[in-house]
Each structure stands twice: as C-alpha cells, then as structure tokens.
Amino acid sequence: MRVYMPIRLPLERTYYPASRDEPEQLLCWIPPHELEALIKAGRAPARLRDEHPLGLELEVSAHALSQAGIELPAPADSLKAAYLKLRNERRLPASGYVQATYLEQGTRDNHAPLITAAADMIAEPEGVLPSGLAPEPAMSAGEEPDAAMRRLARLAEE
C-alpha cells in the first residue's frame, strides 16, 4: 500500500521567485485560510474561494493583482524592490521563500535608494528590514519538493 506523503507547503503568506531562472518574477502564495480571511476582510473577491480551493498563487504585479481583485498590504513594485534588495544583499534563505509580513514591513518608512535594480524592478524599497537572513514562513510537515518528485517518479516507474 502506497503511503501518501505531501510536499511541504508554506502555512502563511509567502513571497518567492517564479523559478531560479526567473528571479525578476515575484510570486505570492496565499494559503486557503489566509485567502478566506482576505475575502472576509473585503480585500479579495469571494469567487476566489471556489476558484482556488487549494490556495492562491499569483504574480506580484499591478496587472495580476488587479485582475485577481486582490489587495496586498504593499504595492507590487515596492514588494519586488524589497525582495530584490534582500537578494542583492544575499539575505534570502536557500528556498527563496520569504515570510510575507517580514517583506511587507520592509516597504514602509525607509527611503534608502536601491543601487542595483533590474529593468522592471525600479521602485525603491521604502522600509527597513531587520538585519540577517530573511525569515522563512512556517511550513507544513512533508517532503521537500525534490525528494517528493524523485519518489513519485520512482513509483511511476515501478
């Protein structure tokens, strides 16, 4: 009998790049319970509950946020700039997953200019992020994606 072993997922809102080859494209993961809270707070349309029962993943861009009808605590460009600043300062955890509340606090109060910026990441972060490695979100129990996919590929071969 095959044992079901899920892939670990962030349990809270999280920012990360689309892939290691696409660092300029920032995504946001909103787990189902946080999506529900956003809907109840009127910051997300109710249709998203049915359309994304497993959680919502969306690109952090003004266009994508407006299409989804989602309101994040900070503007898309500021979030991208804050994430890029962490990357430039080598303060990202190996997974690339950054706890949303941490990144969002880095978009307020600070006006330090961003020296290096990709073409579509020109906004300056406006807040001060505490020093050190950016914190990862709390994660569910389960396997790392690499291990899970190797296991599934092995099972399919058998």
Residues 68-127 that bind other proteins (CB under 8 A): none
Is residue 11 within 8 Å of 139, Cβ to Cβ? Answer: yes
Q: How many CB atoms lie within 10 A of CB 149?
A: 12
**Nearer Cβ to other proteins, position 130 or 145?**
145
Two structure tokens written together for 8:
């670990």
**Nearer Cβ to other proteins, position 128 or 150?**
150
Sole binder of other proteins in the list 37, 118, 133, 149 (CB under 8 A): 149
Number of residues that bind other proteins (CB under 8 A): 42
- Rounded to an integer, what distance in angstroms lies between the CA atom of residue 19 and that of residue 6? 21
Residues 26-55 that bind other proteins (CB under 8 A): 27, 29, 47, 50-55
Amino acid at residue number 87: R
Q: Where are the alpha helices (DSSP H) in 76-118?
A: 76-88, 100-105
Q: How many CB atoms lie within 10 A of CB 89?
A: 12
**Nearer Cβ to other proteins, position 14 or 105?**
14
Contact residues for other proteins (CB under 8 A)? 2, 4-10, 14, 16, 18-22, 27, 29, 47, 50-59, 61, 63-64, 67, 142, 145-146, 148-150, 152-153, 155-156
